[in-house]
Structure 1
């Protein structure tokens, strides 16, 4: 992510560790933190739920109930209100500062978005959307990345309507984060949840049958839902269509199989359930920015 020219023109560098530049609007506050020297065990806490997202450099995060982990550019972290963070800055330098944004969002704003989602984007099995109350660490997808980039611009520009602009972007951000969280839960815990959750059952079925033909029609029947309702609920909860989810899982499997230099591309795409090599190549290249044959060749060269 890039910081706007307005930020650099107006910020004051007063502290070498976690120098804070803040912008406050009706329903959210954006804080940009910069650290220009190595430091350890720096404490930070917010009284509202916070989205933290790395811009530059590296932090080591120490949070309750979690093992310490590296926090890197392109990654975000959702923190509940009053969560104490303990942070190390192993690489910060005057000429190479660590930068991170923290977006504190009012709980009233979050509640209104959740009400809207529960009314217009209902989950399967009458479950309700709610804000996760634990630390959720994830890699930004392109949608979340673009929203964060836009929010940096909106907060730092001088525009009379920026409260309205930011409010609209916050709604999309909250929805996308909750869908990302659902996707992670269903992917990581599908087997455990599958006995009493229809979407978890479907996710587990997909992952166990990637080599077989999978269609929205057949999956909706297994979920005991109409095709249209199944497609809508699946996309509302996971933020992705069933077909895209299936292809993502097949590409994950393909990446694993490509580690084996003795497997042919034909064997791999058939084991992953793709009907043709051309479609496999197209989907793989769209997601990995490289053809599967070239990917396998690069792995063999490294070995």
Structure 2
């Protein structure tokens, strides 16, 4: 999860208890930190630029035009277009447990630069060019996105003469990773409803249906009717992860789901999720979840 830097607390002023705003401005972006210390509802917010909003602490309920309302929790983000009206509820905020959220306002120019960089490295497998992500895209931050946001909090709040350069590079990476995360999400959905429409969706469906089998690159590329090198390059370019990393993600999802079942043992979850080494399973699970499979299971059974 994200944490605010000590520099933020040293320089911010609490002028009100609902959506108290601290602003850090650089050449091509603006970092807004919002803190709410009282329960509130129907709070309006709008930015003139596209915004990445990411929860740090507490809970919000977001009401956006044209989208169903949703709970907004730590570790989650949403992309909003310029001038999007947000209506926000704060059901749990208190003086001792404030709700905290960041809003990273980005220039249209910087968004387009990241898109152009992706297109210079290759279009999508269907020949379409990359474009600015769909707005109102709500997602859970992966480890890489979380690390970039944490680094940006530090850069915006530090006193360094080159922080404009540092932030530009990080924002470019952030936008590319979000685009690839969005594309991965799209392919996952298509694999459930329209898997035969494109090769990547078909391969994702094949992976999900055969997680306990050997899923080597040569098998997957043959199923996709592509050369191994072209398949690997296309998959990684569009989804932001290698086929092997994606397979591990899917196996971990299965293991996590099974471990939530109080009748399922850790060993049974390991065998059913397709890992071929118990020690590797335990090691990769702890790396991704910050808990061992046993610890995760115990915690899930207590709070689930």
Same fold (TM over 0.5): yes
Structure 2 counterpart SS, 1:126: coil
CA drift of 1:157 comes to 1.9
1:166-205 to 2 correspondences below 5 Å:
166-205=167-206
CA drift of 1:96 comes to 2.7
State the match for 2:257 in structure 1.
256
Change beyond 3 A, Cα 1:162–1:282: closer
**Greater displacement, 166-175 / 278-287:** 278-287
CA drift of 1:89 comes to 1.1
Check the 8 A contact 1:125/1:198 in 2, yes or no.
no
Change beyond 3 A, Cα 1:2–1:279: closer
Counterpart-to-counterpart distance in 1, 2:168 and 2:39:
36
Counterpart-to-counterpart distance in 2, 1:292 and 1:78:
33
Check the 8 A contact 1:27/1:106 in 2, yes or no.
yes
CA deviations over 1:136-189 (Å, ceiling 9, x no partner): 222222211111111111112222221111101101111111111122222223
Counterpart-to-counterpart distance in 1, 2:239 and 2:126:
15
CA drift of 1:270 comes to 4.4
Counterpart-to-counterpart distance in 2, 1:156 and 1:300:
40
Check the 8 A contact 1:191/1:201 in 2, yes or no.
no
CA drift of 1:279 comes to 4.1
Structure 1 counterpart SS, 2:208: helix
Change beyond 3 A, Cα 1:124–1:261: same
Structure 1 counterpart SS, 2:197: coil
Structure 1 counterpart SS, 2:253: helix
1:41-80 to 2 correspondences below 5 Å:
41-80=42-81
User: TM-score when scaled to structure 2?
Assistant: 0.89
Change beyond 3 A, Cα 1:11–1:209: same
The answer to whether residue 106 in structure 2 is matched with residue 105 in structure 1 is yes
CA drift of 1:7 comes to 2.1
Check the 8 A contact 2:36/2:99 in 1, yes or no.
yes
CA drift of 1:134 comes to 3.0
Check the 8 A contact 1:61/1:85 in 2, yes or no.
yes
| Structure 1 vs Structure 2 CA RMSD | 2.5
CA drift of 1:297 comes to 6.7
Counterpart-to-counterpart distance in 2, 1:90 and 1:253:
32
Change beyond 3 A, Cα 1:13–1:246: same
Q: Where in structure 1 are there 5+ consecutive unaligned residues?
A: none
Counterpart-to-counterpart distance in 1, 2:280 and 2:4:
39
Check the 8 A contact 2:113/2:172 in 1, yes or no.
no
Counterpart-to-counterpart distance in 1, 2:140 and 2:215:
28
CA drift of 1:204 comes to 1.2
Counterpart-to-counterpart distance in 2, 1:92 and 1:218:
51
Counterpart-to-counterpart distance in 1, 2:278 and 2:7:
49
Counterpart-to-counterpart distance in 2, 1:297 and 1:208:
28
State the match for 1:274 in structure 2.
275
State the match for 2:149 in structure 1.
148
1:1-303 to 2 correspondences below 5 Å:
1-258=2-259, 268-292=269-293
